[in-house]
Structure 1
Amino acid sequence: MLFDIKAFESNLKQKDRKSQNPENISTGISNVIRHVWDQETVTFIDFDSFSYQDCVFALEAMESIALTPIDEGEEVFLCDPDNPFTVYNSLGEVIYTLRNTDKRHYQKKEEPSMFL
């Protein structure tokens, strides 16, 4: 299946909602970044949770992530620590580390697996 970016863009423009305040803008952008980073399927995306401008901002942030080729054709992320995608990834790593550390200051209960 081929993805038609022009049709996708026109559909987003038709359903565009205007953000009422700066908090909505920030929430919309974080929703776009979460959907892209987590590679969610279209059926799980709430298109009312962000605007077209949020998508444009996230796309510009994505374009600013630099990939630099190193030896043997590998690529390494060298990016701005303030880039929204980098911040989202860092938050996920912190949450994972806090949940799975052996040096907790409280008793670790038997927790069900998150992936059941």
Structure 2
Amino acid sequence: MKKANRIKRNEDFQTIFKHGHSTANRQFVIYSYPKKDQAHFRVGLSVSKKLGDAHLRNYIKRCLRHVMMEFDANQLIKHDVDIVIIARNPAATMTYHEMKSSLEHVLKLAKVYQHRSK
């Protein structure tokens, strides 16, 4: 994922948690915060140590980044939004394709996923 699409600073995370809107399903919690002055979406990931060891947490983050890159390549995410994705416990046992469909579901609930017909 491009550096411009990442949220890394704690201040940015705290702003999104405080002012953003949360949406959840069993596997993920999404905080979305609209920003009118940016040309692309940004994503921050949070995977708790409760989910497993470093290897598993990094695997989950890699899968989530890859899913978001796919959505970005197909222009499926609104570009004027900041998103924080928090993985819940069931995400630790999911395959890549299960994560993709679950993340798509929760992004649709959060109204940041836009379906493009070809």
Could you state the TM-score of these two structures normalised by the residue count of structure 2? 0.26
Choose between structure 1 and 2: higher strand proportion. 2
Higher relative contact order, chain-length normalized (CA < 8 Å, sep 6+): 2
Query: TM-score of the superposition, structure 1-length normalised?
Result: 0.27
The structure that is helix-richer by fraction is 1
User: Which structure has the greater CA radius of gyration?
Assistant: 1
